């Protein structure tokens, strides 16, 4: 599928992987619709893309709010018509030790990381072109467990299950559905997780980073641009025969 003038929706695009994915698809000729609940970052991303000559539509949207998602998707279809690419990238990460009181973190992470993916896909599909592409950003935490991150792991496992179910359901329309499962990516969210873990273990940030890298076969973190490259492959003509997959990009940290 050529990306020239294709309408591509990318959620959580104010920074990090989402922003890199939006830029990559824009460079390949797509018209880009981006959303995020971070207004300042979203406006900055949109301004920079527009200044570079790319066609971009930006709207503040919390994907855990079905009404906001409906308004965003309606704005995209009203402006540009049929959607051909949806990248469900918006997500959050927080610790939630199981014995800590309160359920707020559990509900917050499931609402954003899993229900948000459902909302965006459910609302976008009536405006989707047959032969389109859907990519969900999961995580290697969708394949393995991490102590004290049960909500994050459960939400990302759920994204992979949703991916496989939708791949079967949408195959008759020629729509592929895949998940991308990054390991440690150089983003502000990953840095916050490292800082929190380092604080709890009484380590410096550099010591914590070194420990993480020692457990990665290639000894490096992933760049957001590398994740964007994989997403581009999946939505390009080269990815037309790939569906229902959960593709790792983790420098060898997870092999499955």
Q: In what order do the strands lie in the sheet with 56-60?
A: 56-60, 31-36, 7-11, 83-88, 128-137, 176-182, 246-249
| Residues 144, 102 contacting (CB under 8 angstroms) | no
Does any domain span residue 213? no
Write out pLDDT tens, residues 114-155.
999 999 999 999 999 999 999 999 999 999 999 999 999 999
Count of alpha carbons within 13 Å of 175, Cβ hemisphere only?
A: 26
Distance in angstroms (rounded) separating the CA atoms of residues 96 and 23: 33
Q: Is 103 among the domain residues? A: yes
At 42, which CATH number? Answer: 3.40.50.720
Count up the domains in the chain and report the number.
Answer: 1
Range of the domain at 239: 7-183+223-249
In a domain, 212, yes or no: no
pLDDT digit string, tens, across residues 151-174: 999 999 999 999 999 999 999 999
Instruction: Write the DSSP string, 172-186.
Output: GGT-EEEEEEE-SBS
The answer to whether residue 227 sits within a structural domain is yes
Confidence check: pLDDT of 2 > 80: no
Please give the positions annotated as active site: 152
Q: Is the pLDDT of residue 1 over 80?
A: no
pLDDT at 197 (0 to 100): 85
The answer to whether position 208 is within a domain reads: no
Q: How far apart are CA 38 and CA 23, in angstroms?
A: 17
């Amino acid at each position: 599928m050529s990306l020239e003038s294709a309408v591509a929706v990318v959620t959580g695009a104010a920074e990090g992987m989402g922003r890199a994915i939006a830029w990559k698809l824009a460079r390949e000729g797509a018209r880009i619709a981006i959303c995020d609940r971070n207004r300042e970052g979203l406006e900055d991303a949109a301004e920079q893309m527009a200044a570079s000559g790319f066609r971009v539509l930006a709207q503040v949207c919390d994907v855990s709010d079905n009404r906001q998602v409906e308004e965003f998707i309606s704005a995209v279809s009203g402006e540009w018509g049929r959607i051909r690419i949806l990248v469900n990238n918006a997500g959050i990460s927080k610790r939630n030790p199981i014995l800590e009181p309160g359920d707020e973190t559990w509900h917050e992470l499931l609402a954003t990381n899993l229900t948000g993916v459902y909302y965006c896909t459910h609302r976008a599909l009536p405006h989707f072109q047959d032969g389109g592409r859907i990519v969900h950003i999961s995580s290697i935490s969708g394949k393995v467990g991490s102590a004290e991150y049960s909500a994050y792991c459960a939400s990302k496992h759920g994204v992979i299950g949703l991916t496989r179910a939708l791949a079967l359901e949408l195959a008759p329309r020629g729509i592929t559905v895949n998940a991308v499962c990054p390991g440690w990516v150089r983003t502000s969210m990953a840095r916050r997780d490292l800082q929190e873990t380092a604080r709890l273990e009484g380590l410096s940030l550099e010591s914590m980073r070194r420990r993480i890298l020692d457990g990665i076969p290639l000894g490096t973190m992933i760049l957001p641009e590398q994740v964007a490259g994989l997403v581009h492959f999946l939505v390009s003509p080269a990815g037309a025969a790939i569906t229902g997959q959960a593709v790792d990009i983790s420098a060898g940290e997870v092999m499955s």
